[in-house]
Each structure stands twice: as C-alpha cells, then as structure tokens.
Amino acid sequence: MNVGDTLHGYTLIERIDRHGSQREFFRCTKEGRTFVMVRDDDIEQYIRLHEHLLRRGIAVPLLYWFSIEERLMVQEDLGRDSLYELTAAKGYDRATYRVVIDELVNLQVDGWHEAPTTLQYDREHIRWEQEYFIDCFLLQYCGLDAGEINRIKSDLDRLASSIVEGSQRIMGYLMHRDFQSQNIYIKEGRARIIDFQSARIGPLTYDLAALLRDAYVHIDRVAENDLFAYYHEAIERRGIGISGRELRNIYGLTALQRNMQALAAFANLSLNKNRPHFAQYIPRGLELLTAGLQETELPDLKRVVSSINR
C-alpha cells in the first residue's frame, strides 16, 4: 500500500504514522469524504472487539468496510486532534482530561460484560511485562549485568503479588492496556478511543495510570491528584465501592508496572524496530518510574532504577 493507490474505490492520500503500531494506516478519500484505511494482520480480533464496543455504546471509530481476506478495513477519520497533539500544542487542559476519564469509565464498566476476549491481566501476564522490562530496557538499553538483574527479582515478585492480591475488588473490568494520549482523540466534544485490540480483563487502575503517568505528555502531581479524585468519584457513581486510600495504593502499584512496560516498549522500538525516535520518551518514562518507586517498599528495584543515567 502506497500513497496514490486506489483500493476498492478509496484513494490513499496520506500515510498516518501510528507510532509504535505494527499496523499500516492511510488517510483516504472516496466521493469527497475522508476515511482511514488500515491494514491489520489480526483483523478478526479487532472486528470482534469493535462490534462489541459499539454495541455497548463505547466511543470507538465507526467502521465502514472490511475484508478479512485482504486484512483491510476502512474506518471513520477522527481528524488530527489526538490528546497527545492537543496537549503538546496547548498544554494540559483539565476539562479535556475529564472528558477522557468519563469515556475510560464507560469502556471499563460498560465494555466488560460479555467482552470477546479470554485474555486476563493475571500474574502470568504481569511477569511477562516484567521480563520484557528486564530484557529490552535493563539489559539491552541500559546494559546492566546479570548480577544487578538477579538482585531485583524478589522485588518484582513482591510487586506482582501485591498487584494480584491488592486489586481483587477492581480486577474484573475491561482493560484497554494502552490507554495513553496517542490512542485517544477528541472529536465533537467526546473522547474517541483507538487501538483497543489488545484489550483484556484486569484491574481498573492500569489504564488510569497509563493516562495520568504518560511519558508522551507532562501532567504534574497536582493535576494528577485532581484527576485521580475525579476518576474515583466517577467509578463510585457506577456502583464500584472502594476507598480513596485503597484505590490510591493499587493505582501506585499498577503505575509502576505500566511505566516499566512503557520503558520496555520505547527501548524495543528504538533498538530493535528501527524507530529510534522513541528513545526521546525514555527520560520522562524513567522519571515517572523513579518517582513512583519512592512511594514503595521495593528497595533493590528502587536502587537499580535510581542508578540509571538518564
């Protein structure tokens, strides 16, 4: 697929860089309207989740046409106003982030029932994320030795256990798993969600941490605390009873896990996927992880991460 090609009556006019995605995206036109054409090798799962989320009233792009055989689909063009672009251009906007949190709660609560996925955010997946962090970030990117890695294994095990045991009351909900500013668009006053194909069942706070401790944008702690309180009120209105203190504790733990996953992804993309520009987000990701570790009793992990030269 190349700019200028015409496929099924749609003319490709612009390649869209979807950053870390392995899928191909093109803005295209047909009969005077613009759309987005996507080539996706795992299109079946995307279609299943899309149909489910649309039925549940979740704000995902409209889907106009698809071909399983050709691995192609044509979606609504959401424009260029991603949360990332808006925040980069205008700075943090409280009202916009509250709109995003409203849609996140809809996704998590309304989207979980009969969601077409058997994937769970369980101990096995948590350990996979941690090994991803070790392999891509600590070993490949930072060049740490095996001795340093071995010293943090017990802390990582403790973190995994704390997440699994501590989040039981909020563990049964739909989880986007990459709910960060580049996967959220604002159109006609509503947050629109993309790249949900890796959704699984898991704790509420992982996606919240991906949004509020996002290495692509800067949200200070005052704003983060304000949005956290707004989120807590929002899930309480949906019948999810949990104290602010307990939710905060689980949030801090899942934020560590999310920040480690993001650092691993930045390192992997920059070193192994020929996308070196992702390295620019590592300092902010490391800053977020370091700050989060100051609030925990994980001394070896805290020491190793603090020793890394940003």
Structure-model confidence comparison of residues 308 and 205, the more confident one: 205
- Per the structure, the complete domain to which residue 155 belongs is given by 83-307
Does residue 230 belong to any structural domain of this protein? yes
Does residue 198 belong to any structural domain of this protein? yes
pTM: 0.94
Q: Which CATH number fits the domain that encloses residue 72?
A: 3.30.200
Verify that 20 and 164 share a domain, yes or no: no
The answer to whether 303 and 149 have CB atoms below 8 angstroms apart is: no
Verify that 187 and 260 share a domain, yes or no: yes
The residue from 49, 76, 103 where one domain ends is 76
Q: Which residues of 222-232 are buried (b: 16+ CB within 10 A; e: fewer)?
A: eebebbbeebb
12-26 confidence digits (pLDDT tens): 999 987 665 678 899
Q: Which CATH number fits the domain that encloses residue 262?
A: 3.90.1200.10
Amino acid (1-letter code) at residue 268: N
Distance between CA atoms of residues 232 and 32, nearest Å: 44
Q: What is the DSSP string of 91-108?
A: ---HHHHHHHHHHHHIII
- pLDDT at position 196: 94
170-203 confidence digits (pLDDT tens): 999 999 999 999 999 999 999 999 999 999 999 9
Verify that 105 and 196 share a domain, yes or no: yes
Verify that 18 and 143 share a domain, yes or no: no
The residue from 41, 56, 76 where one domain ends is 76
- pLDDT at position 18: 65
Verify that 121 and 200 share a domain, yes or no: yes
